[in-house]
């Protein structure tokens, strides 16, 4: 297949691009700026902004499939107070994402995978309360409503994603190894309450490949791998860098896992069984933490 990955320079999109290319597909990357990762930079690049550019300029009719990995989260929310969160998310998610996928549908793209988040399915009480969860819920519904006999679109809803693609910077993941080594001076050592499910970016890439082959139109797939408390998760990092510790669990706001990103609520534990219809590897997280820690030595 000829596949366009929107948001292909980030961790999830880059991992998917490499995996799909390795499976024999012709993969192009769309992003606002080219990737600095050599393996991603070697792929065909389409410069564009799905929010502000007209989709017609991207010649979408040349693609058989689309993978959309570019939905905005709190990392992209302006912190200067210039825009309200609900207005920001409404523009970049609720409006722009379905509009781009609708343009792909009209251009004749036959299959699409939208990368979403698990919060609307696992914390539905936050819909209408949390602007981010509300936006992701609205976007997911609008995207899947585009499904038709000629346009097979589904969503893959993800928990916290862990991974490492050479040349792709993921600041919060890189910081975890430094934190466990004691290299972040003045940062308190403890674990917050609660926990969540985790999945590797490689598992997501396999799931995307599987979805492009067998996904049911308009279905929302809940993906995941390891259910871990934050204490277990952070202690795994400390062990991986050779600095094993038993961490205290505190109510305090954690500097690397702050309450502001806990959209289900501070101290909440999210644990669930995952969808088995799509084919992707499980039990990846412990070995992946060790691999990332070893690379950071």
Task: Report the chain's mean pLDDT, rounded to a whole number.
Answer: 94
* Same domain (yes/no): 130, 43: yes
For residues 228 and 20, give the distance between their C-alpha atoms in angstroms, rounded to a whole number.
29
> What DSSP assignment string belongs to 77-90?
S-SSSSS-HHHHHI
* Same domain (yes/no): 209, 189: no
CATH code: domain of residue 127: 3.40.50.720
Alpha helices (runs of H) in 94-214, residue ranges in sequence order:
96-107, 119-122, 131-144, 171-181, 201-214
Q: How confident is the model at residue 269 (pLDDT cuts 50, 70, 90)?
A: very high
| Amino acid 17: pLDDT | 98
Average pLDDT over residues 206-213: 98
Q: How confident is the model at residue 55 (pLDDT cuts 50, 70, 90)?
A: very high
Mean pLDDT is lowest, of 76-80, 146-150, 199-203, for: 76-80
Please write the tens of the pLDDT for every residue from 91-101: 999 999 999 99
* Same domain (yes/no): 190, 154: no
| Amino acid 112: pLDDT | 98
76 burial (CB, 10 Å; 0-12 / 13-18 / 19+) is: exposed
* Same domain (yes/no): 111, 16: yes
* Same domain (yes/no): 183, 236: yes
* Same domain (yes/no): 71, 110: yes
Q: Output 233 or 83, whichever has higher pLDDT.
A: 233
The number of domains in the chain is 2
| Amino acid 10: pLDDT | 93
* Same domain (yes/no): 87, 150: yes
For residues 114 and 12, give the distance between their C-alpha atoms in angstroms, rounded to a whole number.
12
Domain span holding position 110: 2-162+198-222
Tell me which residue has tokens 């902004």: 49
What lies within 8 Å, CB to CB, of 75 at 6+ separation is: none
Q: Calculate Rg over the CA atoms of the chain.
A: 19
* Same domain (yes/no): 140, 257: no
* Same domain (yes/no): 92, 131: yes
Nearest to 243 by CA among 177, 198, 161: 177
Indicate whether 80 pLDDT > 90: no
Q: How confident is the model at residue 267 (pLDDT cuts 50, 70, 90)?
A: very high
- What's the predicted TM-score (pTM) here? 0.96
């Amino acid at each position: 297949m000829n596949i366009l990955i929107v948001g292909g320079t980030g961790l999830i999109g880059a991992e998917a691009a490499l995996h799909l290319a390795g499976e024999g597909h012709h993969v192009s990357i769309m992003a606002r700026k080219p990737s600095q990762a050599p393996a991603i930079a070697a792929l065909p690049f389409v410069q564009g902004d799905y929010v502000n550019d007209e989709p017609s300029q991207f010649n979408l009719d040349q693609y058989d499939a689309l993978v959309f990995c570019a939905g905005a989260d709190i990392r992209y929310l302006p912190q200067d107070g210039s825009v309200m969160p609900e207005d920001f998310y409404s523009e970049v998610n609720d409006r722009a994402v379905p509009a781009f996928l609708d343009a792909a549908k009209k251009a004749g793209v036959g299959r699409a995978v939208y990368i979403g988040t698990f919060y609307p399915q696992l914390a539905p009480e936050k819909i209408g309360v949390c602007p981010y969860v509300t936006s992701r819920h609205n976007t997911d519904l609008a995207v899947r409503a585009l499904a038709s006999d000629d346009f097979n679109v589904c969503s893959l809803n993800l928990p916290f994603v862990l991974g490492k693609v050479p040349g792709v910077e993921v600041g919060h993941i890189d910081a975890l190894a430094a934190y466990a080594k004691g290299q972040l001076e003045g940062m308190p050592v403890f674990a917050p309450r609660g926990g969540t499910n985790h999945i590797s970016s490689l598992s997501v890439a396999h799931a995307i490949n599987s979805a492009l082959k067998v996904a049911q139109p308009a279905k929302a797939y809940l993906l995941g791998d390891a259910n871990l408390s934050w204490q277990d998760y952070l202690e795994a990092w400390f062990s991986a860098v050779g600095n094993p510790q038993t961490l205290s669990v505190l109510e305090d706001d954690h500097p690397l896992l702050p309450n502001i990103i806990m959209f289900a609520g501070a101290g909440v534990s999210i644990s669930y069984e995952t969808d088995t219809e799509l084919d992707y590897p499980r039990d990846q997280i412990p070995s992946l933490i060790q691999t990332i820690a070893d690379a950071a030595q």
